[in-house]
Amino acid sequence: MKYLRVRAEPGKRIAITGINPVLLDCLQNVPGIVEQRDAPNVRKRLFPPPTSSDNAANRDWENLVVPDLRHLFDSAVEIMARDLESLTADPQHQHHFRIVFAEDHLAAWMSALNQARLVLGELFAVTEDDMRQTDLDMKQPKDLALFRIHVLGYLLQLLVEYATGLS
Amino acid sequence: MPQTGTVLIEETKSKEALDVPWNVIVFNDPINLMSYVTMVFQRVFGYPREKAEKLMLDVHHKGRALVWSGAREQAELYVHQLHSYQLLAQMEKSS
């Protein structure tokens, strides 16, 4: 992903350029990955209770706050998926792509990428040691999940740097 | 008279309960990027970058960190915001 860049475009827009086919495949898989968030362990990770012991407060949270969070997470993925439809070839680099989207979609992009990473992490019980693993066998489902977590994390890192003014 | 005494004691207990600060705790997870967690602390609590980074490193190295302490209502709001950024956060009464 040596050509991958995130930069400001005129008209309060952001361009992601240098998207290679591998990253594109990961991005296009985000909505499908996030759909699996109702698996019990994933649900517990994305919608954790607010306290460890106050059952009444946890029940209220489940009824009042979780639907709100679910809506927020859905909206983020929808925004990212819609932006992906405007994908075009990157004129600077052969076999690479670019996407331009409104700056106020940035939070949705970060949320969607992070949701997908967290869902994969829970589905495959990823640990800190797994995250340090470098020798990945793409035929193994867990290794493929780790690869996707890292690829999406690379773009997320660039978006965080852009959002915090470090890029 | 006893009834009045009971009410007074209960009121005092309630006031104490309200006065006890609540802690907002963030827990480590293997997936969230360190830079992302730092950004979230800056955005949610308005902390300067240095403080946000220190708290993020506390979470990373110690497994959990107390990131804010204060009134219950505000603690709930912060936990809600942290969950909206997909951080593992809980509130607990200060001991």
Judged by CB atoms closer than 8 Å, whether chains meet at A111 and B35 is answered as no
C-alpha span between A61 and A102 (Å, rounded): 32
Tell me whether residue B36 is in a domain.
Answer: yes
- pLDDT tens-digit profile of B21-73? 999 999 999 999 999 999 999 999 999 999 999 999 999 999 999 999 999 99
End-to-end, the C-alpha distance of chain B in Å comes to 33
- Is residue A100 scored above 90 in pLDDT? yes
Substitution target in A62, A128, A152 with the highest count of B β-carbons within 10 Å is A128
Q: How many domains does chain B have?
A: 1
Question: Cα separations (Å) of B87 from A114, A142, B40?
Answer: 10, 23, 9
Angle at A123 between CA A35 and CA A127, to 5 degrees: 140
A46 to chain B, closest Cα gap in Å: 6
Confidence of residue A2 (pLDDT cuts 50, 70, 90): confident
Flag if B86 and A46 touch (Cβ within 8 Å): yes
pLDDT band at A159 (very low <50, low <70, confident <90, very high): very high
Report whether B23 contacts B91 (CB < 8 A).
yes
* Smallest Cα distance from A94 to chain B, Å: 30
Q: Is residue B67 part of a domain?
A: yes
The chain-wide mean pLDDT, for chain A, equals 96
Could B35 and A118 be called an inter-chain contact, meaning their C-beta atoms sit closer than 8 Å?
Answer: no
Instruction: Give A46's contacts in chain B (Cβ within 8 Å).
Output: 86
Show Cβ contacts of residue B36 under 8 Å, excluding neighbours closer than 6 positions.
A110, A114, A156, A157, A160, B85
Residue B6 belongs to a domain: no
Q: What is the pLDDT of residues A3-32, one digit of tens each?
A: 999 999 999 999 999 999 999 999 999 999
In this prediction, residues A62-67 reach a mean pLDDT of: 97
Is B61 contained in some domain?
A: yes
Predicted pLDDT of residue A75: 98
Choose from B20, B27, B36, B60 for mutation: most chain A CBs within 10 A.
Answer: B36
Cβ distance A115 to B83 less than 8 Å, yes or no, reads no
A141: closest CA of chain B, how far (Å): 17
Minimal Cα–Cα distance from A125 to chain B, Å? 10
> What is d(CA A149, CA A130) in angstroms, rounded to the nearest whole number?
11
Q: Do A160 and B30 touch (CB under 8 A)?
A: no
CATH number (domain holding residue B37): 3.30.1390.10
**What is the pLDDT at residue B5?**
52
Confirm if A30 and A112 have CB atoms less than 8 A apart.
Answer: yes
DSSP B4-57: HHHHHHHHHHHHHHHHS-EEEEEE--SSS-HHHHHHHHHHHH---HHHHHHHHH
Closest CA to B64 of B92, B39, B95, B43: B92
| ipTM at complex level | 0.94
Q: In the prediction, which pLDDT does A166 show? A: 62
| Encoded tokens for A79 | 């925004």
Q: Is residue B3 part of a domain?
A: no
How far CA B77 is from CA of A61, A76, A87, B73, B81, in Å, comes to 11, 20, 37, 6, 6
Q: Which domain holds residue B44?
A: 21-93
Task: For the beta carbon of residue A11, count every other beta carbon within 10 angstroms.
Answer: 8
Q: Is residue B53 part of a domain?
A: yes
